[in-house]
Structure 1
Amino acid sequence: MSQFQFSLWYNSSYAGSHRNIGYNVWDIGDERIGGTGQGGGAQPLLWCDNGAGAGTGVKNNAASAQNRHASYRAGVYYNSGYKGIVDILAPKSSWFQLKNAYNNNASFAWI
């Protein structure tokens, strides 16, 4: 099984482009692998595949989500740094549409 057990989608109902995530992300708009910049400037997570939103930034553009992890809850936060209001997905659950972080997603954490 993939270690990337959480997914966000660009549109509601798991439509459009997606992004798989397997680790906590402090700031979806500037994800620095290993804590340091990889060539300078912001390094945003981008949407994958060829659906709606492909190649654009994930931050503040997610509408639906799926948590495939069997043990951990997943938190999608309104602000960077795991702050602000949060949508919490139970293990093995999916949301057709985020509530608190709908198109206002800035960080992600396993809870």
Structure 2
Amino acid sequence: MKVDSSSHSSWPIFALRAVIFVAGGAGLYMGYRMFVPGCYPRKFQLLRSAKESAQLLLGTLPMFVVAGIIEGYITPAELPLQAKYGFAAVTLLLLIFYFLYASGKKLTRLPWT
């Protein structure tokens, strides 16, 4: 079975980079709060930042699932190249819509307060 690497969808390429950066940032945030606790005890800050980081990581799970489905079923499928590029264009538009929709939500409080 020949896999054409040029037919990768835009979702795994762009979304996984964003998800990996968010996951790395969540880990760095936990480490920062452990080393710079402010006026609270280190344990309290670590637990609070772990809760916030877990919420960030849970928010990235849908993107991992979609990327896995695309990489597992669409990329190795023997579809015409035009169909794969069309699917890539549709997923890119969905990804742009997802990011614009998510960035339009108003925060009720700042995550670090």
> The TM-score by the shorter chain falls in which range?
under 0.3
**Higher RCO, Cα 8 Å, sep 6+:** 2
Structure that is richer in helix per residue: 2
Q: State the TM-score, normalizing by the size of structure 1.
A: 0.22
